[in-house]
Amino acid sequence: MILGIGVDTVDIARFERTLARTPKLRGRLFTEAERDRPLHSLAARFAAKEALIKALGGSDGLRWHDMEITRAVDEAPRFVLTDRLTHALARVGAAWPHVSMTHDGGIATAFVVVEARAGETKATGSTL
């Protein structure tokens, strides 16, 4: 069962100007493993982190580094299950956040679906 969905879109040129204006922002928003990716990839990852917050219904204790996105060769991108992200997911009865990211025409977009743990609902946390 789907507990939450979130979508976010980032104007890549605007994102680039923001990073240029505030150089330390790259380090605050992205983990060491993410920071050296191309600009369009960073914009998509930022959109994915924002979409995850929307899908969870708020950030409630999550920091930007708690929402790292990784992608192995020939695999879809995925969130790394950090301790804080695992806690945030458990708080809403979620098993896993699914993420899809794209960039084209100067825009980066991400869509996140938060899936329930088997046998639980968000409203009551009761078993089905």
pLDDT digits (tens, 9 = 90+) for 12-47: 999 999 999 999 999 999 999 999 999 999 999 999
pLDDT of 86 higher than 70: yes
pLDDT of 95 higher than 90: no
Residue 127 pLDDT grade (very low, low, confident, very high; cuts 50, 70, 90): very low
85-100: average pLDDT? 93
Domain map (residue ranges) of the chain:
2-116
The model's pTM: 0.89
How far, in Å, are 22, 56, 63, 71 from residue 97 at the CA level?
A: 30, 9, 16, 14
Residue 77 pLDDT grade (very low, low, confident, very high; cuts 50, 70, 90): very high
**Tokens at residue 113, please?**
């679906």
Handedness of CA 12, 102, 100, 54 (dihedral sign): positive
**For position 126, what pLDDT does the model report?**
35
**Tokens at residue 59, please?**
């950030």
Which residue in 29, 12, 16 sits closest to 102, CA to CA? 12
CATH architecture of 2-116: Alpha-Beta Complex (3.90)
pLDDT of 56 higher than 90: yes
